[in-house]
Amino acid sequence: MNDRIGVLGGTFDPVHYGHLAVAEDVRVSLGLKQVLFVPTAQQPFKRDRTTTSGAHRLAMLERACANNPRFVVSAIELDRAGVSYTVTTLEQLREQGFVDICFILGADALHDLPKWHRAADIPELAHIVAVQRPGEVVVLAPVLQALPVLRQRLTLLDGPQLAISSTELRHRAHTGASLRYLTPDPVIEYIDRERLYR
Ligand code: ATP
Ligand code: MG
């Protein structure tokens, strides 16, 4: 074990076993001390969709991570409010003393990375760990061409490859389909109690 931490950013609307299995797989593969789950306040690419309140998304994440002492939920982006830029979050985390950071993302997010705010600075601030995601074939060439700094700073992992998405969970909740075995029971209880995604 080392002092490396993982950071998994996302909307988490809601969190699901895809997120949790990816975080655990990367944590064990790279011997990370902990994985920080960072829900966005406002995702730059999702501004057209109304997301569930940050308080609800945070509450669901806390329930999902409660039984894993190596999973930590961070409100760093929600506390900052406004549009959430990963580069700002990584700079803030480094100021807080986290010097060795692995930023974890799924294959879909890796393809978008060159479009992120100050994209070239992100691999300077963190090692990038990209994980395969079903339905998304990793095409590295254009990403490396747009972000040459990534070449020395990228690890590609197979990951658990679970075909689960928050979009699918929202749709299932909306239509009354079951969420069991797609996200932890305490998350489902919270969704039911708060009547989310109806
Ligand atoms: P939505 O359908 O609303 O976009 P999502 O399931 O993609 O939700 P996000 O919160 O957008 O979840 O994802 C946060 C991060 O987790 C992203 O880097 C994404 O690629 C990754 N991720 C989410 N689900 C999976 C999965 N099943 N396998 C691998 N990576 C995943
Ligand atoms: Mg997504």
pLDDT in tens, 135-187: 999 999 999 999 999 999 999 999 999 999 999 999 999 999 999 999 999 99
Average pLDDT, the chain: 96
pLDDT score of 163: 98
Residue 61 lies in a domain: yes
Residue bearing the CA closest to ligand 1, atom 25: 18
The total number of structural domains that make up the chain: 1
How far, in Å, from the CA of 165 to the mean position of ligand 1? 6
Please tell me which residue, 20 or 45, carries the higher pLDDT value. Answer: 20
Residue 187 lies in a domain: no
User: What range does the domain containing 135 cover?
Assistant: 5-163
Q: How confident is the model at residue 65 (pLDDT cuts 50, 70, 90)?
A: very high
Residue 39 lies in a domain: yes
Pocket test for ligand 1, best of 13, 17, 19 (most atoms within 8 A of CB): 19
Residues linked to residue 127 through DSSP beta bridges, in sequence order: 102
Residue bearing the CA closest to ligand 1, atom 9: 10
How far, in Å, from the CA of 132 to the mean position of ligand 1? 11
pTM of the model: 0.97
pLDDT score of 2: 63
Does residue 162's CB lie within 6 angstroms of at least one atom of ligand 1? yes
Residue 137 lies in a domain: yes
pLDDT score of 1: 45
| Sheet arrangement for strand 154-157 | 71-73, 34-39, 5-10, 101-106, 127-131, 154-157
Residue 198 lies in a domain: no
Ligand nearest to the CA of 136: 1
52-77 in b/e form (b: 16+ CB < 10 A) is bebebbbbbbbbbbeeeebbbbbebb
How far, in Å, from the CA of 105 to the mean position of ligand 2? 10
How far, in Å, from the CA of 32 to the mean position of ligand 1? 20
How far, in Å, from the CA of 134 to the mean position of ligand 1? 11
CATH of the domain at 65: 3.40.50.620
Residue 169 lies in a domain: no
Residue 71 lies in a domain: yes
